[in-house]
Amino acid sequence: MTLTTAEADTHTYPHARTFDDLPGLMGRMTGADKHGPAASSTLDVLWVLYDRVLRIAPEAADDQARDRFLLSKGHGPMAYYAVLAAKGFIAPELLETFGGYDSPLGHHPDRTLIRGVEIGSGSLGHGLPLGVGTALGLRAQGLIDPAVWVLVGDAELDEGSNHEAIAYAGAVRLDRLHAVVVDNQSATHGWYGGIASHFAAAGWSTATVDGRDHAALYEAFTQPHPGRPHAVVAVVEPKN
Amino acid sequence: MTTTVAATMRDRFISTASTLLDEDPRLAVVLADISATGFDAAAAAHPDRVINVGIREQLLIGATGGLALTGVRPIAHTFGSFLVERPFEQVKLDLGHQGVGAVLVSALGSYDWPAGGRTHMSPADVALLDTLPGWTVHVPGHPDEAELLLRDAAAADGLVYVRLSLQQNAEARPITPGRFLTVRQGRGGPVVIAVGPVLDDVLAAVAGLDVTVLYASTVRPFDSAALRGALADRANADVVVVEPYLAGASTPFVAEALADRPHRVLGLGVSRQELRHYGTMQEHIAAHGLDARSLRERISAWAV
C-alpha cells in the first residue's frame, strides 16, 4: 500500500458522501459489512460536527483561521477515520491498512501521520488541556474567530487533568473552547449530579442532548454562549 | 566558591523573558503561580501572552503544547519538581509526541531550598528528559549565561530545558550555546566536565592538579566532539563529570562518545538516596560530596 493521506481522492469521492456511507467505510477497517447502533458511540457526534459545524476542509487543513477539532478520546478511532474519509481528508482505500506497520491509521491517531488530525491521542485526559492552549494560542495571535472543539468520553473525565482545564477555562471565560462529552455511561463511578453540572459549576455553558439525534446535536453545538466556554453532553446507549 | 547573590538566575529569567515578550510576538510565557508576580508588568503589557493557569501543572504543560500547536513559541516555568517530574507524561505526549517545540525553564534545582525538603527538590529532571528524544538541556552557571541561553532557546524551534539554580559561579564564562568550553588545559591527567553552577567548586577542587576542565553550560546534546578533542593526545581516557543533579546522568553520554576507546568515567552529582535533612544549600552540596574539598578528595582518589 503506497497511498498517503495527501493523495485522498476527492475527485472520485467528493464531499457528497452521507452519514449512510459511514458503516461501509468503517467496514473497510474491520472487514464487517454491518455495524449495530453501538458500533461507535462517537459516530453521530463526529458526523454532525464535520458535516455542519466545523469550518475545516482538506484543501485548507493548514489554514490558521480553521476551526480545530481535537479527538481527545483516541480509543476506537474507526468512526473518526470513517468521517475523515467521507469528508476527503484521507483516501478510503487507506482504511484497509488500519493498524498496519506502515499505515498512518493507528488504533490511536497520530497527528504527524494524518493531515487534518490536530492532535495525537490515546492516553486519556490530554485533549482538553491541549484545547485550552490552542484557544489561548489563537487568541494571542489575534485569531478570535476559530472555534476549538474537544471530544472527550464520560469515563475519560475520570482523569484529573480534565478538571484542571475545565476549571481554568471557565474562570477565564475562554469562550472559543467547546467540549463535547460522549456519554455512554462507562465511567466506573459515574458523575454525581450529572456530567453537565460539573462544567456548569465551573462557569461553562452546557447542553445535554440525545447523542444520536442529529438535529438536537446541531442545535446544541450552535447554541450561543457569549463569554463562556460551551460543553455539550451527548448521551448514547450505555456501553455495558 | 559557590555564592548566592541578590540577582539570581531566576530574576534574570523574569527580566529577560519580559523583554523578549516585547521583542518577539511569537513568544508567550505560561506560569502556574510560581514567579507570577514577577510577570505582573509583562502581563499588563501582553495580557494574551502571559498566561497563569494557577496551581495546575498538568494544564501548564498541556496548554503549552496547545499554544505551540498554533504556532506560538511558549516558555513554561515553575519549580523543577512541578515542571518536569509531576507532569512528565504531559512533557512526553503534549510536547514531544505532538511534534511541537517549547521552552521549559525551571527553578530550585536539586538542593536550592533544602528547608523545603524533598518535595521541592528535582534532582532527576535531566535524567527524566534523557529518556525522551530531542531535548536540548541548558544548565547556566551565572545570570549572564542564563540570559544568553534563554535568548538562544526563545529564538530556536525545538524542545529546550533551561535549568536555573540559586547556586552560581562568581563570573560568567564566554560560552557558546551547545558547546563545552575549555576553561583549564591540563597536560595529561583526567578531563573533568563541570556542568553549570558547580564550576567554581570544581576549579577550586582541582587547583594544583594536572587536569583539564571543560565547562558545560549546555549538557544536551552532549558535546562529544569537545570531549574527544580534549582526550585526543592522551594515552588514557579518564573522565570525571560533576553535575548538580542526579549523579551519573551524563555517564552514558561519555561512554557513547568514547565507545571506540578504553576509558574510565567517574560520575559525581546528587545522590539517589534521600538525605532527609533540612538546612542550607551549602550543607546539602557538602552532603552530596560536591563541595570543593569533597570533590578534591574524590577526584584525587579515583585518578591515582
A85-88: long-range contacts (C-beta < 8 A, 24 or more apart)? A85/A8, A85/A13, A85/A25, A86/A13, A86/A17, A86/A18, A86/A21, A86/A22, A86/A25, A86/A50, A87/A15, A87/A17, A87/A50, A87/A51, A87/A57, A87/A58, A88/A8, A88/A10, A88/A13, A88/A14, A88/A15, A88/A57, A88/A58
Beta-strand pair B180-184/B212-216: antiparallel
B149 & B266 share domain: no
Cα-based distances in Å from A20 to A186, B60, B216, B259? 27, 41, 62, 61
Residue A147 pLDDT greater than 90, yes or no: yes
For chain A, give the number of residues: 240
Backbone angles phi, psi at A51, to 5 degrees: -85, -30
Chain A and chain B share a number of CB contacts under 8 A equal to: 105
Q: Which of A118, A123, A143 lies at the smallest CB-CB distance from B93?
A: A123
- Same domain? B266 vs B187: yes
Selection from A42, A63, A67, A37 nearest residue A52 by Cα:
A67
Task: Note whether A190 contacts B: Cβ–Cβ < 8 A.
Answer: no
Give pLDDT, residue A170. Answer: 98
Residue B274 C-alpha, separation from nearest chain A C-alpha, in angstroms = 29
- For residue B1, the model assigns a pLDDT of 47
User: Which residue type occupies B45?
Assistant: A
Last residue of a domain, which of B105, B133, B163?
B163
Q: How far apart are CA B16 and CA B96, in angstroms?
A: 25
Residue B130 lies in a domain: yes
pLDDT tops 70 at residue A18 = yes
Nearest to A133 among B48, B54, B67 (CB): B67
- Look at residue B257 and tell me if it is in a domain: yes
Q: Which residues of B181-200 are buried (b: 16+ CB within 10 A; e: fewer)?
A: bebbebeebbbbbbbbbbbb
Say how many domains are in chain B: 2
- Mean pLDDT along residues A6-32: 74
Q: Do B53 and A168 touch (CB under 8 A)?
A: yes
pLDDT over 80 (residue A5): no
Q: Which residues in A lie closer than 8 A to residue B61 (C-beta atoms)? A: 129
Q: Is A135 on the interface with B (CB under 8 A)?
A: yes
In tens, the pLDDT along A184-226 reads: 999 999 999 999 999 999 999 999 999 999 999 999 999 999 9
Q: How far is A31 from chain B (nearest CA, A)?
A: 30
Which residue reads 469521492 in cell numbers? A13
Contacts of A168 in chain B (CB under 8 A): 53-54, 56, 59
In chain A the domains, ranked by start, together with CATH numbers, are 38-77+116-235 (3.40.50.970)
- Would an 8 Å CB–CB cutoff place A132 in contact with chain B? yes
Residues B117 and B203 grouped into a single domain: no
Q: Does residue B140 share a domain with residue B15?
A: yes
> If you average pLDDT over every residue of chain B, what do you get?
96
CA angle A71/A72/A74 to nearest 5° reads 80
Residue A33: predicted pLDDT: 57
**Average pLDDT by stretches of 10, chain B with 304 residues:** 68 98 98 98 98 98 98 98 98 98 98 96 98 98 98 98 98 98 94 98 97 98 98 93 98 98 97 96 98 98 90
d(CA B52, CA B35): 10
A12 pLDDT higher than 60 = no
**How many angstroms separate the CA of residue A197 from the nearest CA in chain B?**
21
Which residues of chain A lie closer than 8 angstroms to B53, CB-CB? 132, 164, 168
Name the residue among B121, B99, B127, B137 with its Cα closest to residue B288: B121
Residue B28 belongs to domain with CATH number: 3.40.50.970
Residues B188 and B243 grouped into a single domain: yes
Q: Are strands A177-183 and A230-235 parallel, antiparallel or unpaired?
A: parallel
Amino acid at B63: A
Which domain covers residue B81, as residue numbers? 9-163
Categorize the per-residue pLDDT at A48 as very low, low, confident or very high, splitting at 50, 70 and 90. Answer: very high
Does one domain contain both B215 and B271?
A: yes
Q: And the C-alpha cell for A74?
A: 483516541
Query: In this predicted structure, what is the pLDDT of residue A108?
Result: 95
Query: Does residue B204 sit within a domain?
Result: yes
What are the CA-CA distances from residue A194 to residues A177, A233, B64 (Å)? 21, 10, 30
Chain B CB within 8 Å of residue A152 CB: no
Question: Is the ipTM, as predicted for this complex, more than 0.90?
Answer: yes
- The whole-number pLDDT of residue A10 equals 44
Nearest CA in chain A to B97: A120
B121 Cβ partners below 8 Å, 6+ apart? B81, B108, B109, B110, B111, B113, B114
Per-residue confidence (pLDDT) for residue B31, from 0 to 100: 98
Residue B53 lies in a domain: yes
Residue A155: is it exposed, middle or buried by C-beta count within 10 angstroms (0-12/13-18/19+)?
A: buried
Q: What is the identity of the amino acid at A2? A: T
- The reply to whether B271 falls in a domain is yes
Q: Does A134 touch chain B (CB under 8 A)?
A: yes
Report d(CA B125, CA B111) in Å as an integer: 13
* pLDDT at A37 exceeding the cut of 50: no
Q: Are B261 and B299 in the same domain? A: yes
Is residue A40 scored above 90 in pLDDT?
A: no
| Chain-chain contact of A126 with B93 (C-beta, under 8 angstroms) | yes
Among A3-12, A135-144, A179-188, the least confident range: A3-12
d(CA B57, CA B61) in angstroms, rounded, equals: 6
Angstrom distance (rounded) from CA B304 to CA B296: 12
User: CB-based contact (8 Å) between A61 and chain B?
Assistant: no
Per DSSP (E only), the strands in A58-153 are: 68-71, 148-153
Q: Which residue of B has its CA nearest to A136?
A: B67
Residue A16: its pLDDT value, please?
80
Alpha-carbon torsion (B94, B88, A199, A136), positive or negative: negative
Confidence at residue B86, expressed as pLDDT on a 0 to 100 scale: 98
Residue B221 preceded by cis peptide, ω within 30:
yes
Instruction: Please check whether residues B220 and B99 belong to one and the same domain.
Output: no
pLDDT digits (tens, 9 = 90+) for A65-92: 999 999 999 888 999 999 999 999 999 9
Nearest chain B Cα distance for residue A118, angstroms: 8
- Classify the C-alpha dihedral B285-B286-B290-B292 as positive or negative: positive
Same domain, B150 and B230: no
B146 found inside a domain:
yes
The residues near B15 (Cβ < 8 Å, ≥ 6 apart) are: none
What are the DSSP calls for A67-82, one per residue? -EEEE---SSTHHHHH
Last residue within a domain, chosen from B111, B136, B163: B163
Q: How confident is the model at residue A2 (pLDDT cuts 50, 70, 90)?
A: very low
For residue A30, name the pLDDT band (cuts at 50, 70, 90): confident
Distance, CA of B50 to CA of B52 (rounded, Å): 7
Mean of all residue pLDDT scores within chain A:
92
> From chain B, which residues contact A within 8 Å (Cβ)?
28, 48-49, 51, 53-54, 56, 58-59, 61-72, 74, 89-90, 93-94, 97-99
Q: Are residues B266 and B195 in the same domain?
A: yes
CATH of the domain at B186: 3.40.50.920
Helix axes A160-171, A127-140, angle to 10 degrees: 30
CB contact under 8 A, A129 and B69: no
For residues A86 and A21, the answer to whether their CB atoms sit within 8 Å is yes
Cα dihedral B90, B96, B98, B101 sign: positive
Three cell numbers, residue A102:
506502515
Q: Is residue B240 within 8 Å of residue B193, measured between CB atoms?
A: yes
pLDDT more than 70, % of chain A: 90
For residue B188, what pLDDT is reported?
87
pLDDT of residue B301: 96
Answer yes or no: do B126 and B51 share one domain.
yes
Residue B104 within a domain:
yes
Q: Provide the shortest C-alpha distance from residue B12 to chain A (in Å).
A: 24
A142/B47 Cα distance (integer angstroms): 12
In angstroms and rounded to an integer, the radius of gyration of the C-alpha atoms of chain A is 17
CA distance A157 to B268: 44
Do B282 and B192 sit in the same domain of this protein? yes
Interatomic CA distance for residues A182 and A184, integer angstroms: 6
Q: Alpha-carbon distance A42 to A153, whole Å? A: 9
Task: Give the number of other CB atoms < 10 A from CB of residue A198.
Answer: 21
B116 inside domain = yes
Domain boundary (B131, B163, B195) is at B163
